Chains A and B, each alone.
Chain A
Amino acid sequence: MTATTLTPSFDLQQVATRTPASIGRVEITDVSKAYGANQVLRDVSLTVEPGQVVALIGPSGSGKSTLLRTINHLETVDRGSITVDGRYIGYERKGDVLHELREAEILRRRTQVGLVFQNFNLFPHLTAIENVIEAPIALRRQSRAEARSLAEALLARVGLADKAGHYPRQLSGGQQQRVAIARALALSPKVLLFDEPTSALDPELVGEVLDVIRGLARDGTTLIIVTHEIGFAREVADRVVFLDHGEILEQGPPGQVLHRPRHPRTRDFLAKVL
């Protein structure tokens, strides 16, 4: 949609409309994790097909955010395995043995999975466009000029072409979150994770962020979204997953989970948030 702003040196198609074919498949198998005595994930298994949009819902402390962070290896798991397109983020499999990878390799693999935080976590000392180009340049993916033209296209895509030179504190919450999304997209991730992307926003700013996510969903990026916006989950998600106490209690198409929940806990939760 922003192809008009492009310089020919770089191919936006790669970012904007990803081929939904065989990339971005996430497979979570029997994952458990505890912080001390607190069991936050219990034998969670979940497969997300390429291009699918999955909404994770559930009460606070149900393990949604932890599950999200284990996918890009910001958190390690105690048991179970997580792969993106058949590869582990933190390990290399040789036969039946998993070898822990060096940090540099983990970081390289982690760029396949983008993460958008609840409180944006933009780098406050860098302008919007510097935030976006930091990683592509640091990882030597692109020259500075290429990174800038990509970043300009991405900022235009999230509707912030005119804010490139602004520092995060000069932007509204919704604008900051859109910059954060552009920053995550700059690495062309196969999978994009959203950790309650609108929870820190004023109600009137929620819409602009959801619009951007909606656009990504249409483009066929694999999205896993932790959210409390039930209406939004119903609209964009292919599948809604309900977590409670670290367990997946129910999952299925939004119509089913959100309108005809089978599990009483899902019913309780939805009654409270709707």
Chain B
Amino acid sequence: MSGAVRAPVAAADASASALEAARSVPGQVELAAAAPGPERDAARDDHEGRGGRGDGRIDAGLRVVPVRHWGRWIASLVVIFVVLQFLWSLASNPKWEWDVFAEYFFAPSVVNGLWLTLWLTVVAGVAGFVLGALLAVFRLSKSPLLNAAAWWYVWFFRSVPLVVQILVWYNLGYLYPTIGLGTPFTTDFWIAEFQTTTLISAFAAAAIGLSLHQAAYSAEIIRAGILSVDQGQLEAAGALGLPRRIRFFRITLPQAARAIVPNAFNEVIGLVKGTSVVFIVALPELFYTVQVIYNRNQRVIPLLLVAVVWYALITTVLSIAQFYVERRFARGAVRELPPTPLQQARAWAATQWRRLGDTPNGDAPNRDAARGCAAPGTAPPRPAPSGGAPGPDALRDLRDRHPATTRPGGTA
């Protein structure tokens, strides 16, 4: 399975190695199934004694012996050993206290904390990026005042530690006991007046602080994206008479998004964990909640694991979303979009299915159906044959024309 998601060159390697393995140890031929492509077919045919097909590396009857990467094999074994050892220790060492982990993973207080974390992330993420986009546009504006204002904003909020900022918002009532509307430059609030402490709750202080902080960083990310768009694009849009709004939203932004998206997801994933700073105003988000619990029951490790696993789950979901969003904005930027893992998995499953239904003479009619099942314009990774290996059709031709071609590998 793993072979199906590797890069094409690696797949070719794996396939070649598997071919070697198949040759020496017949029982391991299933390994070869991991890599799609003609070599795999050839390996199977060889093993099943049908032969005569050529393995894509045969030219004029010469046999090519692939390089053996001994170092890579040894390193892989070491890595496998270390991973297995660690997994074994996780299962066997009672001090991980998985029962405690299970007890608290869905505990109501933990789930409430998780919701607060997610809610803060959404609020600060959305507000931060909207304000950040505005700042980026200000910063790129021809108006020196807007430009300078955006610069100073970014300077200020990147300078002040987030914790300090949240504390100041939380304690704003100390500096300004009341906030209101009235005559400018006076404290004469004759339209409306509020007690600051009732207006700004702990949650509001945290949300404002996180959003303003996030906006400073988002502004730079968005600005970088906009700057990365080729000047010629704007000239072309201008020459076509496209209005400013359309130039920005239809031409610049979709192209800038390609540079913005990876960094933006970086920021949002950072923000998920960054929200834990709001413990300073005693908001029970996920991390603060588990701290409170383990301070009470002293089960530090399993409770930290509860938080870690939740964070990992959120990050996983966001990473998957990132993959598809990036793919969306890569349209036109690459000639062929790489297949999604889902498409790869379907192609792999179809290959396996086809193998099951293969007729004894090896000429299943829909031999290439597995490749066709990926979305149009995409193809599962194929081995990149160094010697320009012919495709399956060419291989069939080769066999038909030279029925006596040596068996793949030529060893028997």
- Give A residues with C-beta under 8 Å from B: 72, 74, 103-104, 107-108, 110-111, 114-115, 117, 119, 121-127, 134-135, 138-139, 167-170, 183-184, 187
- Chain A residues near B329: list those with CB within 8 A: 125
Q: Does B317 contact A (CB under 8 A)?
A: no
> A45 → chain B, closest Cβ, in Å?
24
Within 8 A of A (CB), among B228-254: 230, 232-233, 235-244, 246, 250-251, 254
> A223 → chain B, closest Cβ, in Å?
15
> B365 → chain A, closest Cβ, in Å?
30
**A117-B232, A117-B235, A134-B250 are contacts. A167–B332 as well, Cβ < 8 Å?**
yes
Q: Does B335 contact A (CB under 8 A)?
A: yes
Contact check: which of B240, B255, B333 meets A134 at CB < 8 Å?
B240
Q: Does B356 contact A (CB under 8 A)?
A: no
B243 touches A138 (CB 8 A): yes
**A104-B243, A110-B238, A135-B240 are contacts. A121–B335 as well, Cβ < 8 Å?**
no
A169 touches B244 (CB 8 A): no
B235 touches A110 (CB 8 A): no
- Chain A residues near B250: list those with CB within 8 A: 134, 138
> B230 → chain A, closest Cβ, in Å?
8
**A138-B242, A139-B241, A167-B332 are contacts. A121–B251 as well, Cβ < 8 Å?**
no
- Chain A residues near B230: list those with CB within 8 A: 121
- Chain A residues near B243: list those with CB within 8 A: 104, 107, 138-139
- Chain B residues near A74: list those with CB within 8 A: 235, 238-239
The 3 closest A-B pairs by CB, nearest first: A121-B236, A167-B332, A111-B241
**A124-B255, A126-B332 are contacts. A134–B242 as well, Cβ < 8 Å?**
yes
Residue ID in chain A nearest B240 by CB atoms: A135
> A72 → chain B, closest Cβ, in Å?
6
- Chain A residues near B332: list those with CB within 8 A: 124-127, 167-169
20 examples of A-B residue contacts, CB within 8 angstroms: A72-B239, A74-B238, A107-B242, A107-B243, A114-B239, A115-B239, A121-B232, A121-B236, A123-B233, A124-B332, A124-B333, A125-B254, A125-B255, A125-B331, A125-B332, A126-B332, A135-B242, A167-B331, A169-B335, A183-B240
Residue ID in chain A nearest B334 by CB atoms: A169
A103 to B243, CA, bound (A): 8
> B334 → chain A, closest Cβ, in Å?
7
Besides A117-B232, A125-B331, 16 other CB < 8 A contacts?
Answer: A74-B238, A103-B244, A110-B238, A114-B239, A121-B236, A126-B332, A134-B242, A134-B250, A138-B246, A139-B241, A139-B242, A167-B331, A167-B335, A169-B332, A184-B239, A184-B240
Most B Cβ at <10 Å: residue of A111, A125, A126: A125
B241 touches A187 (CB 8 A): yes
A117 to B329, CA, bound (A): 25
A126 to B335, CA, bound (A): 13
- Chain B residues near A123: list those with CB within 8 A: 233, 236-237, 251, 255
> A124 → chain B, closest Cβ, in Å?
5
- Chain A residues near B242: list those with CB within 8 A: 107, 134-135, 138-139
Contact check: which of B237, B241, B244 meets A108 at CB < 8 Å?
B241
- Chain B residues near A135: list those with CB within 8 A: 240-242
A154 to B139, CA, bound (A): 40
> A73 → chain B, closest Cβ, in Å?
9
